[in-house]
Structure 1
Amino acid sequence: MSICVVQQQMQSAITAGGAPPALTGNARGLEVYRIAWRARLIEALRANYPVVHRVLGDEAFEALADAYMRAHPSQNRSIRWFGDRLPSYVAAHPEMLPHPAVADLVRFEWAICLAFDAADFAPLGFEALASTPPDAWPDMTFRLQPGYALIPMAWAVAPIWHAAVNTDDPNAQLPVPEAHAHSVLIWRQQLSPVWRTVEPFEADLLHAVEDGEDFAQLCERGVEALGDEAAAAVLGHLQQWVVDELLAT
């Protein structure tokens, strides 16, 4: 048996509970590696979802982690990305959560992770907009930065996240989640992820930007929603996106 095959069998035995290589005679030693592997994955999941861990507590979080590991074993070379499918997993398995708001919190916290690790970019500045000829504005399109995410929420979980990350007291009382259908915008400014709630019209404009609609089409959307105030509203949001460094060159 080649060394490569032995290594593959050993990896499967440790990470997926497969049969150990025939050359392995120390079952107790193999179990130590399995325990260490599980602990490392739970630690990685906890690092990616610290507020979810805080809300669930150790026991419930480890139960969720074990179920997730069985459904989606780590496949990425970097353990940093372990947990990328947790949002879809909890959406498909609501019975794993004590409250439906936790599913929104999972999606929110993963988007924060992605914003933090997003690729660097050059933000679009007012100078570039000012230098654009007036006749070129209708055909202008805009590019959202790599850290951008717009997440529809059914619950107000941002206050829970904010309260949890701003206290060192593990016993501090967190806000009770309230049912609230809204959208949360998450992006990165400089090196820090930031977020805010957006109104339906702005969310609609952002989705249109994602789809590649030009400035004239954005204004047409504004006319449908706001009538004569459309142009001013679209320009106002565009200016805010530039200030927020939400747009990339």
Structure 2
Amino acid sequence: MKLRAFFEAITPFLEGRASHDETSRALYGAPEGGTHASDKDARRLAIYGRFCRIHRFEILEKLYPHCWREVRERHGEEAWEALVEAYYRSHPMRAAEMNANGARLPEFLASYAPEAQLPGWLPELADLEWWEWEVLVAPDREEEGPRPRLASTVELRPYRYDLVGWLDAKSSERPHVPESRESLVLFWRDREGNCRREKTSSLELLVLKALHEGLGLDRVAAEAGGVSLEALRETLSDFIAAGIALNPTPLPTPS
């Protein structure tokens, strides 16, 4: 068998789109006397197929542990297995970095969740979990400059549900579903290398705007109205201490 034909036969099996029996027939010929012409190779193929299936599941279970838990607890193990297999049918594993193959689950769930009668907030939960991972492994790209600036790992994501409050609640006190309330969640990696995420306040959003656009806090305070410059400076100091912002020079002391 030529190499191209071999990969055309084995790839659907390794991706979970073809059965072991039909793949063995394509590779080794029809069974003879109840066994495959190359029975040993067929058994090895089955083992390799199981490893591939395990890897597909492990990637999503590692990246999306809360989604995994919610689907299994609400709809059973079969629902999770169906979700995983459907995802990889739509997005076969192509990336050499294994976890990158799970990147499109939030996008996939946006259409799959309603069809499978899964919770409507599940795509957003997946998005939150993906960004926890993305921020954790993001490379540092910090550049020195004359002004305070955002750290390179900072990401701000909008959600229609209070997922942070829901996840942070004690399991015994956690509501059955997250509250339907719009929120902006800030993700970043702290100085110890841990992923952090918190809901942002209106004051914090003003400081984020100043850092992102390179604006002075005095200008932001004047444009916002009703916000003190001192409060903005205190928030910026908190950002620097948390690793959200970088400050190459000491902050000016208020006169």
Shorter-chain TM-score tier = 0.7 to 0.9
What percentage of residue pairs aligned between the two structures are identical?
23
SS at structure 2 position matched to 1:187: strand
Please tell me whether the aligned partners of residues 115 and 188 of structure 1 are also in contact (alpha carbons under 8 angstroms): yes
Distance 2:201 2:6 in 1: 57
SS at match of 2:196: strand
CA offsets per residue over residues 170-195 of structure 1, 9 Å max, x none? Answer: xx674331111111111112122112
SS in 2 for 1:150: strand
Tell me, yes or no, if the aligned pair for 2:186 and 2:198 is still in contact at 8 Å: yes
- Specify whether residues 100 and 141 from structure 1 end up closer, same or farther in structure 2 by C-alpha distance, changes over 3 A only: same
Question: Are the aligned partners of 1:182 and 1:199 in contact in 2 as well (CA < 8 Å)?
Answer: no
Q: Is the 8 A contact 1:116 1:188 kept in 2?
A: yes
Pairing 1:142–2:158 present: no
The residue type equivalent to 1:224 in the other structure is E
CA distance in 1, matches of 2:205, 2:28: 57
- In the alignment, does 2:28 pair up with 1:24? yes
Q: How many residues align?
A: 225
Superposed counterparts of 1:24-63, under 5 Å: 24-25=28-29, 29=43, 30=45, 33-57=48-72, 58-63=77-82
Deviations 1:15-44 (CA, angstroms, capped at 9, x unpaired): 263785954335965566445423321121
Pick aligned residue for 1:198 from 173, 197, 200: 200
**Is the Cα contact below 8 Å between 2:87 and 2:105 reproduced in 1?**
yes
Distance 1:159 1:14, change over 3 A: same
Q: TM-score, normalised by structure 1?
A: 0.73
Is the contact between residue 123 and residue 245 of structure 1 (CA under 8 Å) also seen in structure 2? no
Q: In the alignment, is the contact (CA less than 8 A) between 2:113 and 2:122 conserved in 1?
A: no
Give the distance between the partners of 1:151 and 1:193, measured in 2 at CA. Answer: 15
Q: Distance in 1 between matches of 2:10 and 2:224?
A: 61
* TM alignment of 1:164-179, pairs within 5 A: 174-176=174-176, 177-179=178-180
| Paired position in structure 2 for 1:93 | 112
Higher relative contact order structure (alpha carbons within 8 Å, sequence separation ≥ 6): 1
- Taking structure 2 as the reference length, the TM-score comes to 0.72
Question: How big is each residue's C-alpha offset from its partner over 1:75-101, in whole Å with a ceiling of 9 and x where there is no partner?
Answer: 111222232011112223341453222
Gapped regions of structure 1 (runs ≥ 5): 133-139
Is this contact kept in 2: 1:154–1:182, CA < 8 A?
yes
Partner of 2:6: 6
Aligned pairs (5 A) from 1:147-186: 148-163=154-169, 174-176=174-176, 177-186=178-187
Matched, 1:66 2:73: no
1:114 aligns with 2:118: no
Larger Rg belongs to: 2
The equivalent residue for 1:137 is none
For the residues of structure 1 that align with 2:143 and 2:68, how far apart are their CA atoms? Answer: 34
Q: CA-atom RMSD, angstroms? A: 3.3
Q: Which runs of 5+ in 2 are unaligned?
A: 30-35, 249-255
Supply the AA of the counterpart residue of 1:82.
Answer: N
Residue of structure 1 in register with 2:239 after alignment: 241
Partner residue, 2:222: 223
* Distance in 2 (alpha carbons) for counterparts of 1:119 and 1:64: 31
